[in-house]
Amino acid sequence: RERERAAAAPPPPPTATPPRGVVPLTPMRAAIARGMSRSKREIPHFYITTDIDMGAAQRWRAQWNQAHPEAHITLTDLVAHATVQTLKKFPQFNASFAEEGVVFHPQINLGLAIALEQGLVAPAIVDCGEKSLVELAQAVRDLVDRARTGVLRAEEYAGATFTLTNLGMYDVESFVAIINPPQAAILATGAVRRVPVVRGEGIFIAEMMKATLSGDHRVIDGAQAAQFLVELKGRLENP
């Protein structure tokens, strides 16, 4: 009973003194504010979501990591590699809108949203179209490490052509992301959850992940976005 009462009680108030009045924006927060305001003001966003069964991918990853501890693969690595391969098949998602037309980028620079204490950055793994899964996983670790130590190169800061963002580590089921100009799309993934699903006449427990694509309707149509997610889903469900 004591434990039940403790669980029902509200959490203690925070010990830190909350900020009061106007807190000036840091340079990073000011840059985020400008970029996101521009995106929502200028880009006609649309959003589509799909459910991906990650059971086979999770089993494959566990077997790989057990056999190759020196080349550890994370869930983000699997999603990133599948995203890059899908972008190769659908180049309009690796493009940008311009007044004179749609600009197709010659290489895939995959941006990764990384939360820092100062704010959010989305640096790019430059020219990753031909990287293997292991090579991409190494590039992801290197990019995250250098982002946290502040030693990113200029082309990594501003060169992304498509962005992947994930909040699964915070137990977020799904969310929609704002496109980073001048990119045409961004992919948001949530946590992998064990949930009941209906297949045929039976109910099964599956490891499902929601993926939401935000698209620029000046460059991409809904049917194209649906095809993109179908391709991504197929790659992750059949690793």
The catalytic site residues sit at 217
Neighbours of 85 (CB within 10 A): 15
C-alpha dist (Å) from residue 231 to 50, 52, 202, 239: 11, 11, 26, 12
Listed in sequence order, the DSSP H helices in the chain are 2-8, 27-42, 55-67, 75-89, 133-149, 154-158, 222-237
Name all contacts of 143-150 with Cβ < 8 Å and 24+ positions apart.
Answer: 143/112, 143/114, 144/112, 144/114, 147/114, 147/116, 147/121, 147/123, 148/114, 148/116
Is 128 in a helix, a strand, or coil? Answer: coil
User: Residue with structure tokens 């009045």?
Assistant: 21
For residues 114 and 12, give the distance between their C-alpha atoms in angstroms, rounded to a whole number. Answer: 30
Q: What is the DSSP string of 69-89?
A: GGG---HHHHHHHHHHHHHHH
What's the rounded Cα separation, in Å, for the pair 185 and 218? 11
Q: What are phi and psi of 105, to 5 degrees?
A: -80, 140
Residues shown for the chain: 239
